[in-house]
Amino acid sequence: MKEIERWKPPPQDWLKCNSDAAWDESKENCRLGWVLRDHMGCVLWMGARSLSRLRSPIEAEAEALRWALLNMVRFNYRRVIFESDCKELIQAIQEESYRPSIRTYTADILHKLDKIGDHRVVFKSRQGNEVADRVAKEASNFESNSSVLFSTMPSWIQTYVEADKPMV
């Protein structure tokens, strides 16, 4: 039986930011979420956002990562590992010629990554990205084009975060 890939904390001097998008063809909006945690698995910040539906699910994933990056730059964080469960997005960031339809997003993402300093952008399976997925889905309760930043962990996400915490 294959072991489920779980979220893993970053090295001690690093932070980890997971991002995700929730997309539903039948809805007029898409939802974005991200969560920033330290090496102990403690949540430092989270963001949830609802916006008018973009053209495709990969654009929504790119916007989720772009928005998370924008906030990391604003908060002046350095040494951040960014994880997304969208393989195509990670490949598009790493290979300029891949998915030219989202080049505007990937160019902006790369520009913002330069401002972070030390960073990594990696693919993480859906099972390892559950907290960001849940945060994105929670944004369905928001009006379109609204966003919320959380500096304390809301009760609706606590069980997901606790399930990810490293065993000490």
List, run by run, the mean pLDDT of 10-residue segments along the chain (168 residues): 78 97 80 95 94 85 96 96 96 87 91 94 91 90 78 90 76
123-155 residues labelled b (16+ CB within 10 A) or e (exposed): bbeeebbbbbbbbbbbbeebeeeeeeebeebee
The pLDDT value given to residue 52: 78
Residue 160 located in a structural domain? no
The pLDDT value given to residue 7: 92
For residue 68, the number of C-alpha atoms closer than 13 Å in the C-beta half-sphere is: 34
Token digits of residue 68: 């998370």
Q: Which domain holds residue 19?
A: 15-150
Residue 127 located in a structural domain? yes
pLDDT digits (tens, 9 = 90+) for 11-60: 999 999 999 999 877 777 788 999 999 999 999 999 999 887 788 899 99
Residue 6 located in a structural domain? no
Q: What is the reported pTM? A: 0.91
Residue 121 located in a structural domain? yes
CATH number, domain with residue 101: 3.30.420.10
Token digits of residue 97: 């010629």
* Rounded-to-integer distance, Cα 74 and Cα 70, Å: 6
Residue 91 located in a structural domain? yes
The pLDDT value given to residue 30: 85
Q: Name the phi and psi angles at 103, rounded to 5.
A: -60, -35
The pLDDT value given to residue 168: 46
* Rounded-to-integer distance, Cα 158 and Cα 114, Å: 32
Residue 159 located in a structural domain? no
Residue 33 located in a structural domain? yes
The pLDDT value given to residue 54: 81
Name 6's Cβ contacts closer than 8 Å, sequence gap at least 6: 127, 128, 164
Residue 161 located in a structural domain? no
For residue 159, the number of C-alpha atoms closer than 13 Å in the C-beta half-sphere is: 2
Domain count, the chain: 1
